[in-house]
Amino acid sequence: MHTNPTSLREPNSKSAQEPASSRPAAGSVTKRLGNELMGLMMSGSPGISAFPKTDANLFDWVGTIEGVAGTVYDNLKYKISIHFPSNYPFVAPVIRFETPCYHPNVDLHGNICLDILKDKWSAVYSVTTILLSLQSLLGEPNNDSPLNTEAADLWNNQEEFKEQVLRHYQPIATDD
């Protein structure tokens, strides 16, 4: 599906005529990610966060989502991974739950079924949009297109559902 980059001209060779000061072309994914990080930090939306995993790789972020009070996910904090393609934001990022999440629209590997990450993606969406959508998906699953059919069937029995949620849940390791 992806082209093999080895047949490309040496991608790292700096062409001599390129002015050192020139910035990436407008719409550069780097700049957009910088804007998003700033927006996320400044918005201070409760219960969500995301950050580049390492300084060296801007395209892989780690985030957290906290369950909303009044849902079975209340007080639970989930870790997610976010990978941005080079043609982001024109193509959606790839998002997975890293903390095991028992949910009708999340499979056992953490893959998520959410329309805005698939065919309903739009370039105007941002990490903030996605995290808020995931947060509300926790409390309001779409049981019509489940990835975890067992969870979807159990949803109407909230007490038993919560038991399953807690059985699968693993708190995010607090290292150091």
Q: Which of residues 53-72 bind another protein (CB under 8 A)?
A: 53-60, 62-64, 66
Which of positions 84-143 make contact with another protein (CB under 8 A)?
85-87, 89-92, 94, 96, 98, 107, 109, 111-113, 115, 117-119, 121-124, 126
144 binds another protein (CB under 8 A): no
The first and second tokens of residue 166, run together, are 């807690």
Smallest distance, another protein to C-beta of residue 162, A: 23
Residues 77-88 as b/e (b if ≥16 CB within 10 A, e otherwise) read ebbbbbebeeeb
51 interacts with another protein by CB under 8 A: yes
Interstrand relation of 57-66 and 94-97 (parallel, antiparallel or unpaired): unpaired
Please, which residues have CB within 8 angstroms of residue 79's CB and are 6 or more apart in sequence? 62, 63, 64, 97, 98, 99, 172
- Residue from 7, 21, 75, 156 touching another protein (CB under 8 A): that is 7
> Rounded distance, CA 93 to CA 81, Å?
10
Based on the shown chain and the rule CB under 8 A, indicate whether residue 23 belongs to the binding site for another protein: yes
Residue found under tokens 């050192």: 20
Which of 50, 113, 131, 137 does the annotation list as catalytic?
Answer: 113
Residue 102 burial (C-beta neighbours within 10 Å; 0-12, 13-18, 19+): buried
| Of 68-76, 78-86, 135-143, 160-168: span binding another protein (CB under 8 A) | 78-86
Q: Is 75 in the site for another protein (CB under 8 A)?
A: no
Is the CB of 8 or the CB of 156 nearer to another protein? 8
Cα separation, 114 vs 104, whole angstroms? 11
Q: Active-site residue 101, yes or no?
A: no
Show which residues are catalytic.
Answer: 113
